[in-house]
């Protein structure tokens, strides 16, 4: 016991030079910053290949800002304690004014950090096989698709409006990099997302994607500005009426992710969300076949009701029955 306290006493009385202290504190600060930059746990899982690049940038910024935070707050607390007013001492401290080398240092270091981060972030942005920044051309949207009522929701979309979405022209420039394996046309409207798979032509209200395949999204909106946001893909892109935004990404983690509208678009904006299902290519293929079958069955049913492919009145009657509209009313409207 006595020996132990003596060791502590020796340790305290040995004068450690301030340069050693500075070095030690510097090493500890660097290690803590590096560790926290990788273990902050602030982001959801990175479910796309692009997400990893964005996370690299975020973690770097987190490391730098943790270091600066600890340094600045540490100096502040140390000085407040070290230079506190001693009892009975009513004198003022020495007047200090200006320190050119110090001012150059604390202007130069942040300038270098900001420049470094901007170059890095520009590089990440460019490497995202990303947003086509030249897509300011008019999207080839049909007149009719503009007239989808604002209050429509995915579940109540009629066959006719789905058809219009499917007719969205595909003659837009592809996103950067190699061609995509899967192309999906996305339409944002108050308050739903409609996905059209142009290869097969069916529409859904849920986005299904195969793992490891490059996906190209051709997106527009039918009424007001919406935004396609999937936090796990680190992807947020505006859907703008009259314009087509083209971007691409590669999902890499299977799972169900929330697709959230990130642009205040009306009173039910908060409800404008759906699911992105990332699944194996086999499961994706199976899902596509099911969707195709379902849309064919629907068509066959309509044709069966109208053997001679049906007159407009007959087709209208069929849809009216499904919607529960009275024959009498329909007849009157048709007059």
What is the rounded distance in angstroms from the CA atom of residue 299 to the CA atom of residue 287?
Answer: 19
Using the minimum distance from each CB to Cu ion, give the nearer residue, 184 or 261: 261
Q: Is 194 in the site for Cu ion (CB under 5 A)?
A: no
When binding is defined by CB under 5 A, the residue of 272, 276, 278, 320 that contacts Cu ion is 272
For the CB of residue 236, give the shortest distance to Cu ion in the complex, in Å.
Answer: 12
Using the minimum distance from each CB to Cu ion, give the nearer residue, 180 or 272: 272
For the CB of residue 153, give the shortest distance to Cu ion in the complex, in Å.
Answer: 12
On the CB side of 212, CA atoms within 13 Å amount to 3
Which residues 273-332 are close enough to bind Cu ion by CB under 5 A? none
- Measure the N-to-C terminal CA separation of the chain; round to a whole number of Å: 106
Using the minimum distance from each CB to Cu ion, give the nearer residue, 225 or 292: 225
Cis peptide preceding 253, ω within 30 of 0 = no
For the CB of residue 146, give the shortest distance to Cu ion in the complex, in Å.
Answer: 16
Size of the site for Cu ion (CB under 5 A): 4
Question: Which residues, including other chains, have CB under 8 Å from residue 187's CB and lie 6 or more apart?
Answer: 145, 165, 168, 193, 194, 195, 196, 219, 220, 221, 222, 239
Q: Is 265 in the site for Cu ion (CB under 5 A)?
A: yes
What is the rounded distance in angstroms from the CA atom of residue 198 to the CA atom of residue 12?
Answer: 76
Cβ(218)–Cβ(185) below 8 Å: yes
Which residue stretch of 51-59, 199-207, 267-275, 311-319 sits at the interface with Cu ion (rule: CB under 5 A)?
A: 267-275
Using the minimum distance from each CB to Cu ion, give the nearer residue, 194 or 265: 265
Cβ(252)–Cβ(230) below 8 Å: no
Q: Is 261 in the site for Cu ion (CB under 5 A)?
A: yes
Residue with tokens 């396609």: 228
Q: Is 226 in the site for Cu ion (CB under 5 A)?
A: yes
Residues interacting with Cu ion, by CB under 5 A?
A: 226, 261, 265, 272
């Amino acid at each position: 016991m006595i020996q132990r306290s003596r060791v502590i006493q020796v340790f305290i009385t040995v004068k450690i030079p301030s340069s050693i202290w500075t070095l030690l504190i510097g090493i500890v600060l660097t290690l803590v910053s590096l560790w926290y930059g990788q273990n902050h746990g602030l982001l959801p899982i990175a479910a796309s290949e692009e997400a990893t690049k964005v996370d690299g940038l975020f973690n770097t910024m987190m490391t730098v800002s943790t270091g600066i935070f600890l340094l600045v707050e540490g100096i502040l607390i140390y000085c407040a304690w070290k230079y506190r007013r001693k009892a009975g001492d009513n004198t003022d401290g020495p007047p200090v004014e200006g320190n050119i080398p110090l001012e150059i240092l604390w202007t130069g270091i942040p300038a270098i950090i900001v420049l470094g981060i901007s170059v890095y972030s520009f590089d990440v942005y460019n490497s995202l096989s990303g947003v086509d920044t030249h897509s300011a051309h008019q999207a080839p949207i049909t007149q009719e698709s503009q007239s989808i009522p604002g209050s429509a929701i995915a579940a109540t979309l009629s066959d006719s409006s789905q058809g219009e979405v499917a007719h969205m022209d595909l003659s837009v420039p592809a996103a950067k990099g190699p061609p995509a394996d899967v192309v999906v046309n996305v339409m944002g409207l108050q308050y739903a997302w409609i996905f059209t798979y142009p290869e097969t032509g069916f529409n859904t209200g849920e986005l299904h994607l195969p793992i490891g395949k490059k996906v190209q999204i051709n997106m527009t909106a039918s009424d007001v500005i919406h935004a396609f946001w999937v936090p796990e893909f680190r992807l947020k892109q505006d859907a703008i009426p009259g314009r087509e935004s083209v971007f691409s990404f590669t999902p890499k983690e299977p799972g169900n992710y929330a697709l959230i509208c990130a642009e205040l678009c009306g009173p039910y904006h908060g409800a404008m969300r759906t699911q992105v299902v990332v699944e194996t290519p086999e499961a994706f293929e199976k899902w596509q076949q099911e969707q195709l079958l379902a849309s064919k069955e629907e068509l066959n049913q309509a044709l069966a009701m109208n053997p001679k492919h049906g007159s407009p009145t007959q087709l209208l009657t069929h849809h009216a029955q499904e919607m529960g509209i009275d024959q009498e009313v329909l007849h009157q409207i048709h007059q």
